[in-house]
Structure 1
Amino acid sequence: MKQCWRIPPEANAAFVWRMEDVLEVYTRPHDSHFPQVCMDESAKQLLLDKRESLPGQPGQPKRVDSTFESGGMRKLFLAGEPLAGKRFVNVTERRTSEDWAHFIRERIDVHYPKAEKIVLVMDNLNTHTPSSLYSTFAPSEALRLLKKLEIHYTPVHGSWLNMAEIELSALARQCLSRRIGTQKELEREVLTWQQKRNEEAITVNWRFTTADARIKLKRLYPSLEKKKSSTSKKTVAKND
């Protein structure tokens, strides 16, 4: 696994707490009643060709004019179930709290209707919160949806702990690394990628554990020995 340089440079108990919480989730075995789902979002800029491309000929590749016209940005909401080899992507024009709330409701009611709870791992973006459910739906509906979620947030500067980033990286490389002009085309390409990857049931083999973190990221853990030493010195000074 590639570590991200956004990791805090010094001891950070808040980071450690959330990191170990997510890593504990990843040790749980697959359970269809409590599916582990990782959610994240990205974006794709639409680029419209100003001139029609020239089709490829024998011995000559397809030629695309370098000039283009921006078609605006589109947002990509992705939820993946790493242990089951599933992923679902929605293309939207925005990334508001309402967009996130509708995306989550679709996962609950359409893709996991029989689950007792969805164990949801995601970053702490300001729209990724239960309050977005309440600002979008009636209170009774928001509470119904919230009761179906067991939420685990990755720490600040720890989005690399979210396995959804692995899926977004694959999506970017395999599907989005070319010029796409319209939302319909983007939706079609993303759906094709999603279906193919789901048919192949590609899973994620996560190997970074809490034991690894306590060794490789030891500097992030507060030093209890220093605290004991400091407390001891204060006690001696007070007695003197």
Structure 2
Amino acid sequence: MAQVKALACRLPTETEVPLARWSCPELAVELASRGITGPISASTVRRWLREDAIKPWQHRSWIFITDPDFQVKAERALDLYARTWQGVPLGADEYVISADEKTSIQARCRCHPTLAPGRARAMRVNHTYGRGGALAYLAAYDVHRAKVFGRTEARTGIDPFMNLVAQVMSQEPYAGAKRVFWVVDNGSSHRGQKAADRLTAAFPNAVLVHTPVHASWLNQVEIYFSVVQRKVVSPNDFTDLAQVRDRLRAFEDRYNATAQPFQWKFTTSDLDGLLARLDRHTSDHQEESSLRLAA
């Protein structure tokens, strides 16, 4: 049984088997062909692996932190969510906006009408559709007031993003605010110091704050976009782009009528713990890689 688990804990390619990952039936065949066991069923293999919670048919992706200022940038965003900036609590006339773009929302006109759900029957959406084009949905989310400002554009870019900024900053309470912090990721529409300077030049009370590279999960507007994906875009069934625009605007009104701030619980203390775990994981991975190369 130990040999069975040992094989399951190796990548198939390491044993010259042309598979991306093991399944229980494939393991059963391989074990028998190698003479490790006699003929064996997939259910038996699954039962043995279950003893140590080994699931080689599953996989998770991950990425190394590449931003040298990851912790500093992440702490800035987290502090703003806690209404703090550089160790000083935000005033009543200071606001935090989380903004981003949701690209390529398509209008897929189904070739047959979508059927409403019924008794013991799910909604039915025809697989075949005609393409009606695509648009970008830009949104700015006031983190502490739970208010969304959105707009649709033909594409993303600097001008569409600045249109969103102007839409928000031209109205109260943001126009007369002491400071309005804009938390954004590192997309091309608002990347780097040039974007920060461009924002401040247009609106002197606006401050651009970047999340770390590959850390869009720190941007709260992504939570709103996930709501839009679930409640508005899926399943995608629109006659044209005008209907997409109208649906998104109507949903914003519906959302803003009852929205409450997200219960954001990830703090700077949680960040410290996460980074410590990642450091250990990175060290273990590098040590394991060195041992494999030495072998």
Count of matched residue pairs: 211
- 1:34 equivalenced with 2:91 (yes/no): no
Return the offset for 1:161: 0.4
Q: Counterpart in 2 of 1:159?
A: 216
Do 2:140 and 2:164's aligned partners in 1 also have CA atoms closer than 8 Å? no
Ranges in structure 1 where 5+ consecutive residues have no aligned partner: 136-140, 223-240
Query: Any idea what SS the aligned residue of 2:234 has?
Result: coil
Report what 2:16 is aligned to: none
Match of 2:180 among 118, 141, 147: 118
CA contact (8 A) 1:50 1:69 kept: yes
Contact kept in structure 1, 2:148 and 2:252, CA below 8 Å: yes
Structure 1 residue 159, shift from structure 2 partner: 0.7
Whole-angstrom CA distance in 2 between matches of 1:192 and 1:26: 27
The question of whether the paired residues in 2 share the 8 Å contact of 1:87 and 1:194 is answered with yes
Post-superposition CA distance 1:19-70 (Å, at most 9, x none): 112112112167552111000111311112334x276597677755432111
Structure 2, unmatched stretches of 5+, are 1-59, 84-88, 281-295
Query: How large is the Cα RMSD of the aligned pairs?
Result: 3.1
Aligned-residue offset at 1:176: 1.2
Task: Tell me which residue corresponds to 1:138.
Answer: none
| Amino acid paired to 1:155 | P
Whether the 8 Å CA contact 1:98–1:133 is kept in 2: the answer is no
Residue number in structure 2 paired with 1:207: 265
Alignment of 1:1-240 (within 5 A): 8=64, 13-28=68-83, 31-43=91-103, 44-51=105-112, 53=113, 64-110=125-171, 112-129=174-191, 131=194, 143-145=201-203, 147-178=204-235, 179-219=237-277
Q: In the TM superposition, what whole-angstrom CA distance separates every residue of 1:179-212 from its partner, at most 9, and x where no partner exists?
A: 2232221121111211111111321111111111
Secondary structure of 2:102's match? strand
Contact 2:95-2:142 within 8 A present in 1 as well: yes
Within 2, Cα distance between the matches of 1:151 and 1:133?
Answer: 5
Aligned twin of 1:227: none
Q: Secondary structure at the match of 1:175?
A: helix
> Higher relative contact order at CA 8 Å, sep ≥6: structure 1 or structure 2?
1
- When normalised by structure 2's length, the TM-score is 0.63
Cα pair 1:16 1:221 within 8 Å, conserved: no
Letter in 1 for 2:95: P
List, as ranges, runs of 4+ consecutive aligned residues in structure 1 with deviation greater than 6 Å. none
Q: Hey, what's the Cα distance between the residues in 1 that align with 2:151 and 2:175?
A: 18
Q: 1:74 deviation in Å? A: 0.9
**What is the letter of the counterpart of residue 8 of structure 1?**
F
CA distance in 2, matches of 1:211, 1:200: 31
Decide which structure has the larger Cα Rg and report it: 2
State TM-score, norm by structure 1. Answer: 0.76
1:217 partner SS: helix
Q: Deviations over 1:6-30 (max 9, x none)?
A: 55258x6421121112112112167
**Conservation of the 8 A alpha-carbon contact between 2:107 and 2:131:** yes
Counterpart CA distance in 2 for 1:57 and 1:212 is 43
Residue type at the aligned position of 1:181 = T
Matched-pair contact (CA < 8 Å) for 2:150–2:164: no
SS at match of 2:94: coil
Q: Is the 8 A contact 2:196 2:207 kept in 1?
A: no
